[in-house]
Amino acid sequence: MKRVGIIGASGFTGAELLRLVAGHPEFELVAATAHTQAGTRIADLYPSLAAAYGDMVFGAGDDEALAGADLVFLGLPHGASQAIVPNLRGKVDHIVDLAADFRLPDASLYPTWYGEPHAAPELLADFAYGLPEFFRSDIVGAELIAAPGCYVTTSALALAPFLKAGAIESHGIVVDAASGVSGAGRPPKDNTTFCTVDENYTAYGLLNHRHTPEIEMAITKHSGVDAQVIFTPHLVPMNRGILATCYARPAGDLTTESALAILHQAYADEPFVVVSSRVPGTKATLGSNTAHITAQVDPRTGWLVVISALDNLTKGASGQAVQCANLALGLDESLGLQQSGMYP
């Protein structure tokens, strides 16, 4: 058994990690810490986890039980991991960070997109970028892993195969994505209250959303082609799920059939990507670590349209983190993860 811990276990990604760890045949949870919920029973905050965790409580942020763990997940708000990783490194064998703290390798991007300089820029080069479908060899055995979030994963899986194949223009790419409210985290916010979200559909982060450079970085790194993206996220009144509709100009002759062939070839051996002519919906991904993708070429306008859907808390966060953890620990990559979603 591998001894794992979770720092920041009381948020939605933390709760999803707790759920996945409980069902993982090779993981033993040694500590689940949560600064704001220290001393609270896990079952009292998340009754859905009562059968798995009984009377176990969230520990304080400095819980010594984490020392010597095989792997620790960080499910913290952006910025917090930068202060924790330098002290935690060396005390545990592997760290998987779910936040954006170590995803961008260029420290100069953080003041522009995150509003403040990076607190530990010397560590950026030490992190493997945790998108297994593209960077598996970097993740295997890695000590430090930065797992990408839902918007980047959804968009990159849709677009990168076409860039790598030279099938689309690298500039003028449009990503129009919508996420469930859980993507905003558990703490209440004015824009995520029921009365604000219910019967509402709104865009946010126009032209300056912080995940824009990460989308560009991920697809550029995988394809070797310098890409530029305009990204518009939307908040949709549902609990979980994310769907990205991506638009790009073909670089040559491209049909719906050849576009689907590019996706099929790219993901033929990937257990957590489904390519189909069906238009995907978020409902099919619920609770699974699987992304569903399709593509069509419009013969009238010439545009390529790629649609990708996944569960923002599973493949878009905690499931992907477990996928990375399996690779880092030398386990089967799919261990403890569901390929099939729940329905209805």
3-class SS at 189? coil
Residues 6+ apart with CB under 8 A from 195: none
Provide the strand spans (E) within the chain.
Answer: 2-7, 27-33, 71-74, 94-97, 128-129, 144-146, 173-179, 202-203, 229-235, 242-248, 273-275, 291-297, 304-310
Q: How many angstroms from the chain centroid is the CA of residue 295?
A: 21
Which residues, 6 or more positions from 108, have their beta carbon under 8 angstroms from its beta carbon? none
Phi, psi of 93 (to 5 degrees): -80, -40
Q: In what order do the strands lie in the sheet with 27-33?
A: 27-33, 2-7, 71-74, 94-97, 144-146, 128-129
Question: In Å, what is the CA distance from 32 to each residue of 9, 64, 94, 114, 281?
Answer: 6, 11, 16, 27, 33
Amino acid at 148: P
Catalytic: 246? no
Taking the CA atoms of residue 120, residue 144, residue 49 and residue 334 in that order, the dihedral angle to the nearest 10 degrees is: 150
Half-sphere exposure of 252 (CA within 13 A, CB side): 6
Catalytic residue among 150, 195, 246, 324: 150
Tokens of 25: 């045949």
Q: Cα 336 from chain centroid?
A: 17
Catalytic site positions: 150
